[in-house]
Amino acid sequence: MSQASPTTLVSFLGRARLDPKTGYQVAHYRFADGTTKETPFFGLDLLEVAQPDRLVVLGTSGSTWDVLIEQCAVDGEEEELRLRLIEAASEQRVDASLLAAVEPLVERALGVRCLLRLIDYGRDEQGQARILETIAEAVPRGRVVIDLTHGFRHLAAIGALSAFFLERVRGLRVEGLYYGALDMREQGVTPVVRLDGLMTIEHWLDALSRFDQNGDYGLFAPLLERDGVPADKVRCLVEAAFFERTLNLADARRRILTFLPVLDTPLNGVSALFRPALAEQLDWVRAAGLMAYQHRLARFYLRQGDYVRAAILGFEAVITRECDRRKFGQHDHQQDRKPAEDAFEAEIRAGEHPRAVAEGYWMLKNLRNALAHGNPASLIHVRQIVVNPQRLPGALNDALQRVLG
């Protein structure tokens, strides 16, 4: 295994006392490939399957730590240490120093670097946060496999949450969530359930949340491709995001329209669950023209506090509307857009538009010029607005409302 990307197996210990010798009930665990292994502690079976560089075992002061120590052949002074751990576990008073003393025994028996860590019982928010902190400290980098089989039932939920936490906050890669489903046992065989779908669901939820913040269609591309959507189709979303960021909205819209038929057919995997939500985010483009697209983005960026893009796109939406009104083209600046802008301003000066529209237009244009060029506005009242974080959002919103509705 590459030292640059070590794999850590994280497993929980609980307090089950179903067997007087092993603590846990011995089970025959069956993996997806048909392999069956017998053990009282599923983490030991998973150790053979995952072959990690490190094993982290988490348990409370009353967990059945003796399940681990019973796997170790010990004698002499080590026998005394083993008995101390068994006694402490039975009295729910295992402490960190005792686990540190036992670690070398477990490492020698299992043939892998081991960390035995005490965790909080997680009875409240602070305790649950401490569990996540303990896991994060024990798994500093690399890849992670998490065993959710044993421990208190609520620890399984915390364990799953730790997977999201390690990926999102620590930048680690979670390669598997495993659960030995004893309550699904049939004819003496316990199936091993992969809960990786939970991670994929979380990735979708995260992508939707981030999309609401930044509007990046490319966030969905790897999730869709993972579930079998052709690479050329998901690439349309990546390119649409690029074109939108560079204000090339015509090409952005074309890429989205090319992708949309994908959502008219059933999707595979977890993507099927989120197809309606993604369709809802993208369907607007079917009916929207350039002006509506620009206006929509201007409002979006205003909500996100990206005032430069909001002002630029809002002003361009006005000019596109004027191009449409005059039956001009929409894309050539010299032949279409600049003449439409000049004609609209001439109408304003001639009093052909309501005062509210005129005031909104000049404010929007002045704000766009000041923000886009990064220079102090020539008009004092505009300069005062641009440097005021309380006034700028309201002024932009008011200008858009007056001139675009």
- What are the pLDDT digits (tens) for 9-42? 998 887 755 444 444 567 888 888 888 878 777 8
The number of beta carbons lying within 10 Å of the beta carbon of residue 384 is 13
Q: What is the mean pLDDT of residues 188-202?
A: 86
Question: Would you say residue 250 has pLDDT above 70?
Answer: yes
Question: Would you say residue 365 has pLDDT above 90?
Answer: yes
Q: Answer left, alpha or beta for residue 188, where phi above 0 means left and psi between -120 and 50 means alpha.
A: left
**Rounded to 5°, angle at Cα 93 from 126 and 44:** 85
Residue 286: its pLDDT value, please?
A: 86
CB 298 within 8 A of CB 310: yes
CB 67 within 8 A of CB 41: yes
Question: Would you say residue 77 has pLDDT above 70?
Answer: no
Average model confidence (pLDDT) across the chain: 87
> Can you tell me which residue has the tokens 């490939």?
33
Q: How far is CA 329 from the centre of its chain?
A: 42
- What are the pLDDT digits (tens) for 128-181? 888 888 888 888 888 999 888 876 666 677 777 778 888 877 888 888 889 887
Q: How far apart are CA 63 and CA 152, in angstroms?
A: 10
Domain extent listing, the chain: 7-194, 204-287, 290-404
CATH number belonging to domain 7-194: 3.40.50.10640
Task: Output the six-digit token pair for 324.
Answer: 């449409």
Question: Would you say residue 381 has pLDDT above 80?
Answer: yes
- What are the pLDDT digits (tens) for 84-142? 888 888 888 899 999 999 898 888 888 899 999 998 887 888 888 888 888 888 888 88
Q: What is the mean pLDDT of residues 374-385?
A: 85
Residue 319: its pLDDT value, please?
A: 96
Q: Is 62 exposed, middle or buried (0-12, 13-18, 19+ CB in 10 A)?
A: middle
Q: Is the dihedral of CA 204, 205, 208, 213 positive or negative?
A: negative
Residue 24: its pLDDT value, please?
A: 52
Q: How far apart are CA 238 and CA 226, in angstroms?
A: 15
- What are the pLDDT digits (tens) for 215-234? 999 999 999 999 999 999 99
* In the chain, % of residues over pLDDT 90: 48
Cβ neighbors of 79 (< 8 A, separation 6 or more) are: none
Q: What is the mean pLDDT of residues 196-221?
A: 91
Residue 20: its pLDDT value, please?
A: 47
